[in-house]
Chain A
Amino acid sequence: MATITFIESDGTAHAIEAKCGWSIMENATKNGVPGIVAECGGSQTCGTCRIYVSAEWQTKMDSPTADEVSIIEFAEDRTPGARLSCQIEMKEHLDGLIVRMPEKQYSM
């Protein structure tokens, strides 16, 4: 068991007991965390599951693939640390992970 804390843009925090093996997106949507829309259900086409991850936590994750980067660019999100939460699998060593969420997952 591990925990993830999701912080909304207004500062509201949601701490959940996370399941390892699920993506961070699945952990959010299956626990009803608001702010992760995940329109495409993790197929990396929608860009509506964005989170912001600090540089320190990012060192513990695989770096994003070219496709992930292009989806984030397409969403016109230039916030540092932007990642697609559906592309990051929750693992034991990410216990205590804290991520922030955008005010809106849609650019329009």
Chain B
Amino acid sequence: MQSFEEIDFFSDNSLTYDPQPYFEYLRSKGPAVRLPQRGVVAVTGYDEGLAIFRNEERYSSYNAAYGPNPLPFEPVGDDITDQIASNRGDRSTFNMISTYDPPDHTRLRLLLKGLLTPKRLLENEQFMWRLADGMIDEFIGQGSMEFISGFAGPFATLVVADLLGVPEEDHKKFRRIFTEAGMRLGSIDGVPPQESNPLTRITGHFYEYIEDRRKNPRKDVMTDLALTKYPDGSLASVDDIVNLSAFLFAAGQETTVRVMAAMLMFLCEDPALQARLRAERSLIPNFIEETLRMEGTVKTGFRLNKVQTEIGGVELDPGTPLMLVISAMNRDPAKFESPHEFRPDRSNAREHLAFGRGIHACIGAPLARAELKVTLERMFDQTSDIRFDEAKHGPAGSRKLDYVPSYQARGLAELHIVHDAKA
């Protein structure tokens, strides 16, 4: 095996199972450290990372989806703000809400905020309870299942479909679109071909919906979506609405699904904890936060430094890519006591950065939290015990768990469980 010094975090598969020893090695060099490869500076300190998340004026999100790849331009001068703006082209990699800086970002974010009102979120949560019941009914009699493809994936898809007002008769179609699609985010295995990209198909459906509702408005959520307005009162462009809708499916899918699996994994690993949570449901929200802290899906995020600056003792020239190692910040011992221990009653668990912070902070966080809670509550309601399927994952002490190969995403590839239905 290569030493941590030599390892290329962005292409090496040996770190996908457990990246924490590597992150601890980075931390031992300081809260920020320049990696020998690709000129990326990795930030593992909680305070340092939080300050970067909150400073969009100095740190651009230009490379949020582009990661550590070499910039398509040569940074010149002491402020590259203009260069960033003129090098976005029309590649989607540089033209998504998550990669925009103000004022483009502000425009899209305000549209999203208009979609995720407290009222809409409440209605969406009511849908989640119904959906979970229906979906658990599909497998409860089988005794065992692969949880990600059998529940979590389709559940997360349909929750976003409902949020956006996709008519229920089309839910089956949306479910199918995602069933075949694999992991894409920061994939070490290379980028899957475009034709298997579910988003292209989602976009097609949304163009139809929005155009139809603009011609034939009805009393439904999709009509509200079609008639969304910018803050100045003008009608939003169809492109903005369609792209944001597709983005919500992408952003809300893998992320939520892998945390759902992590949640069950912790409960399979620790039957006493499972029994305690079943008996004391009020402990569930903090258990969810601790799961997000320990196994949040977004392992790393990227920013581009715009001006000369310094972080944790490292000098940064304009144009330096920063890797915010969220999974390491969430285990910073200066912030979290015994950070590698899973403590469901940790008092500051919710201060994790699993949803990021600042202007790009996950706008789906309330939705994700509700999905995690509803899933666990309903699994508890309908089963009396959940455990690893040892035929697939092996016995305690020598478990085989595979994680998705990605430098950006963290999560189980599959989770096979055995469950006892409640009598």
Contacts from A to B (Cβ < 8 Å): 29-30, 32, 37-46, 67, 70-71, 74, 106, 108
> Do most interface residues of chain A lie in helix, strand or loop, or is the interface mixed?
loop
- Which 8 A-B pairs give the minimum distances between C-beta atoms? A41-B361, A70-B118, A43-B113, A41-B359, A108-B285, A29-B54, A41-B358, A45-B366
Task: Name the residue on A nearest B356 (C-beta).
Answer: A41
Task: Name the residue on B nearest A44 (C-beta).
Answer: B113
**Contact in complex: B365, A40 (CB < 8 Å):** yes
Task: Name the residue on B nearest A32 (C-beta).
Answer: B51
B351: Cβ under 8 A from any A Cβ: yes
Within 8 A of A (CB), among B309-338: none
**Contact in complex: B359, A37 (CB < 8 Å):** no
With A106-B350, A108-B285 as contacts: A40 and B363 at CB distance below 8 Å: yes
B286: Cβ under 8 A from any A Cβ: yes
- Listed A/B pairs (15) with beta-carbon separation below 8 Å: A29-B54, A38-B361, A39-B357, A40-B362, A40-B365, A41-B357, A41-B360, A43-B112, A43-B113, A43-B363, A44-B113, A45-B118, A45-B363, A70-B119, A108-B285
Number of interface residues of B (CB under 8 A): 25
> Do most interface residues of chain B lie in helix, strand or loop, or is the interface mixed?
helix
State in angstroms the CA–CA spacing of A32 and B116 once bound together.
28
**Contact in complex: B116, A43 (CB < 8 Å):** yes
**Contact in complex: A42, B363 (CB < 8 Å):** no
Contact residue among A38, A42, A74 (Cβ-Cβ distance under 8 Å from B118): A74
Min CB gap A33→B, angstroms:
11
Taking CB atoms, residues of chain A closer than 8 Å to B116 are: 43, 45
**Contact in complex: B121, A39 (CB < 8 Å):** no
**Contact in complex: B121, A45 (CB < 8 Å):** yes
Q: What 1/0 mask marks residues of chain B from 106 to 146 whose CB sits below 8 Å from any chain A CB? A: 00010011001111010000000000000000000000000
Taking CB atoms, residues of chain B closer than 8 Å to A42 are: 359
State in angstroms the CA–CA spacing of A17 and B371 once bound together.
41
Task: Name the residue on B nearest A71 (C-beta).
Answer: B118
Taking CB atoms, residues of chain A closer than 8 Å to B362 are: 40
- Excluding A39-B357, A41-B357, 12 further A-B contacts by CB distance (< 8 Å) are A37-B351, A38-B357, A40-B363, A41-B358, A43-B113, A45-B116, A45-B363, A45-B365, A67-B117, A70-B119, A74-B118, A106-B350
State in angstroms the CA–CA spacing of A74 and B122 once bound together.
11
Q: What 1/0 mask marks residues of chain B from 355 to 383 whose CB sits below 8 Å from any chain A CB? A: 10111111101100000000000000000
